[in-house]
Amino acid sequence: MFLLKKILAFTLSGVTAAAAFVSTSSFAAWPSDQPINIIVAYAPGGGTDIVARQLVPFLEKALGDGARFNVINKGGAGGDIGFGAIAAAATDGYTIGFINTPPVITIPIERKTSWNLNSFELLGNVVDDPGTFCVHNENSIKNLNELAAFARANPGAVSVGSTGVGSDDHLAMLMFEKTAGVKMTHVPFKGSGETRSAIIGKHITVAAINVGEALQYMKGGSPLRCLGQMTASRISMAPDWPTFKEQGYAFEMASLRGMVAPKGLPVSVRDRLVQGLEKAINDPGFKQAAERAFAPVRFLTPATYDAELRAGDTLFRQLWKEMPWTDK
């Protein structure tokens, strides 16, 4: 019996040591032994997708040690599918992703989800892009007052494309309806790239997208006319576009796009990712690429980013009580 106990003890200790070795060696090899996946919760061609792909070479450079990144699009349900995939991923440092406001805040408010803000390790915010309404160039509508007048005369005839229920685009539509006293028809898509295709094809009346996305599409030849920007004051990228407030519609809406990992990431891996992200965003090459893509960069540290998300959560919970954003 004594001999058996010694054999068992030796065997178990060997297994423990082997497990420890595997665990340690696994993280010691990070990030070079396999690609790190970046999940984007929207379809290819949208603002988040474009920024993610632009950021990849600078993240690889910043992390070093042979780090490689893949961008994976998991669009659908206004971002719910992609956000859920990030939250449910293994905490081994090989899956990170982008979260977008307000959907990452509004989706858990409006319905039951498998994740919430507490499901993520925040790595830092990358972009802060205000909203806009765009019409096809051949549309006779030139400004928000003309849009309101047409919508008022034709209830429900104005169709507005967005990236889903509870997105910044959808909420902007609801706030415009309330402010202008009109009724429009919501058409949700998996990403702003699909919204762009719909407005180019004249399948919708208004594309509710972000300023940076609109500028990029217009630079690429898309026949769009944008009716304003949902900011407190005009941004340098669109100095000729009047704000919604200037036109008599006093509300603002924007989309923060930041990077996160699933909760429980090892501290050493998290810290390297946070440092690598900040270094990548501050790289002059990335700043030039972001400017060319009309992506308004705004880096926030994890702590500052968390504070903004929590403030947004409070704001949108109050808004839900006053104006539930459903299509029912």
* pLDDT recorded at residue 168: 92
Task: Identify the CA nearest to 207 among candidates 228, 231, 226, 232.
Answer: 226
Gap between the Cα atoms of 61 and 154, Å rounded: 54
| CB burial of residue 328 (10 Å; 0-12, 13-18, 19+) | exposed
Fold that domain 34-129+254-322 belongs to in CATH: D-Maltodextrin-Binding Protein; domain 2 (3.40.190)
Gap between the Cα atoms of 124 and 301, Å rounded: 5
Contact 72, 39 (CB under 8 A): yes
Every domain range in the chain assigned CATH 3.40.190.150: 34-129+254-322
Q: What is the pLDDT of residues 32-90, one digit of tens each?
A: 889 999 999 998 988 899 999 999 999 999 999 999 999 999 998 889 999 999 999 99
Gap between the Cα atoms of 123 and 128, Å rounded: 15
Distance from first CA to last CA of the chain, Å, rounded? 71
Q: What is the pLDDT of residues 252-292, one digit of tens each?
A: 999 999 999 999 999 999 999 999 999 999 999 999 999 99
pLDDT band at 325 (very low <50, low <70, confident <90, very high): confident
Q: How far is CA 260 from CA 36, 158, 271, 304, in A?
A: 13, 36, 12, 14
Contact 112, 143 (CB under 8 A): no
| CB burial of residue 224 (10 Å; 0-12, 13-18, 19+) | buried
Every domain range in the chain assigned CATH 3.40.190.10: 130-247
pLDDT band at 316 (very low <50, low <70, confident <90, very high): very high
Residue 70 structure tokens: 């893949």
Fold that domain 130-247 belongs to in CATH: D-Maltodextrin-Binding Protein; domain 2 (3.40.190)
pTM over 0.75: yes
